[in-house]
Structure 1
């Protein structure tokens, strides 16, 4: 697919290799979601007249949920960090500048961190906006309806709202403690109401300090 909603999908060897990784280790749910996120993010960048790197944004979008897959999931890190680490290792093979790699790492690692990502570099902020639109409908009314429809036609949602929460949980149910302090803790409680998550106030009150 060369172009969707006026956005040219990157077709460099790096971009193709990144897409192959998601195809090989993800599923249709993650493939369609990640591509919608890229396109939503890119169009938001155009609307805001942001100066951003389309290829870096594309890789960030393709890898942002890769940490949910068995191949890239660690035993003890947040899935966002797993995806960010995978993207960093991938980009280092192509002699991408360290600063560009850092932006991709931050974009992926912070894509679920409310109140922070939107204040960082364009690739980071835009990825966050695309994820928010696709998952929670953030900015839905402000986004051009014709572009939105074209993107969904190219990469269908296919009951996304009902499927994505179990997919999130499947990706980190072996390490639910990594969701502490993050929106994904809501996913754990939704899927397992009996799970006892740490409480920040209790961490303070039961710290080893004597007073």
Structure 2
């Protein structure tokens, strides 16, 4: 794979700073074309939502977060015992720290990635967090699809194809945490395990309460 040379898609400029290019190169090195296209669409959808909502945000940080948001699914960045969202967030934080960015930026990008699947919380945080959450929701589940113009949809998908997205995204998710399914307890990725594993037994919060070591 190579970095797409298009500078503007659907009216959104693709960041071309040194940090943005290096983040993209890491995704191309350790990810797949499928994850790359998804990540680029997430950035573009997030940016269009930012314009529609008239939000002020750091485009470069949003872009870096988009590039790293699913890298926790890859073998290179996957830990044995952390949620894949946290793996990606940790990797992005280390990357930005090596470039000397301030702590506020490191924390913002960490939150943007770590919370991108956290329904009911991410949308109420900083613009970068809320926007990437919205971009992921749009690409994966079609949330906010009606706000996209047909021209924008067609242009974005023509440059960054979906490639049988509905068929491939669930196995792609699963491949990133099938070795640590316990990390899906309490989050939506438990649905992926239930879909992929016959008779998958979910850990249950009520069981945790009832079987705790407390006597009453």
Distance 1:74 1:145 in 2: 40
Report whether the alignment pairs 1:117 with 2:139: no
- Alignment-derived partner of residue 7 in structure 1: 12
1:149-160 correspondence runs (5 A): 149-160=154-165
The offset of 1:193, in angstroms, is: 2.5
Structure 1 stretch 143-152 or stretch 126-135: which is displaced more?
143-152
Q: Deviations over 1:137-178 (max 9, x none)?
A: 000012222112111111000101100000100000000000
Please give the TM-score of this superposition, normalised by the length of structure 1: 0.99
Q: 1:164 aligns with which of 163, 169, 175?
A: 169
Q: 2:149 aligns with which of 136, 139, 144?
A: 144
Q: 1:33 aligns with which of 19, 25, 38?
A: 38
Q: Deviations over 1:95-143 (max 9, x none)?
A: 1111111111001000000000000000000000000000000000122
Structure 1 stretch 189-198 or stretch 174-183: which is displaced more?
189-198
* Structure 2 spans left out of the alignment, 5+ residues: 1-5
Please give the TM-score of this superposition, normalised by the length of structure 2: 0.97
Distance 1:145 1:201 in 2: 45
Report whether the alignment pairs 1:208 with 2:199: no
Q: 2:26 aligns with which of 21, 25, 32?
A: 21
Report whether the alignment pairs 1:53 with 2:58: yes
Paired residues in the alignment total 211
Q: Deviations over 1:68-100 (max 9, x none)?
A: 000000000000000000000000011111111
Report whether the alignment pairs 1:90 with 2:95: yes
Distance 1:152 1:122 in 2: 24
* Structure 1 spans left out of the alignment, 5+ residues: none
Distance 2:82 2:198 in 1: 22
Superposition misfits of 4+ residues, deviation over 6 angstroms = none
- Alignment-derived partner of residue 71 in structure 2: 66
The offset of 1:65, in angstroms, is: 0.3
RMSD after superposition? 0.6
SS of residue matched to 1:141: helix
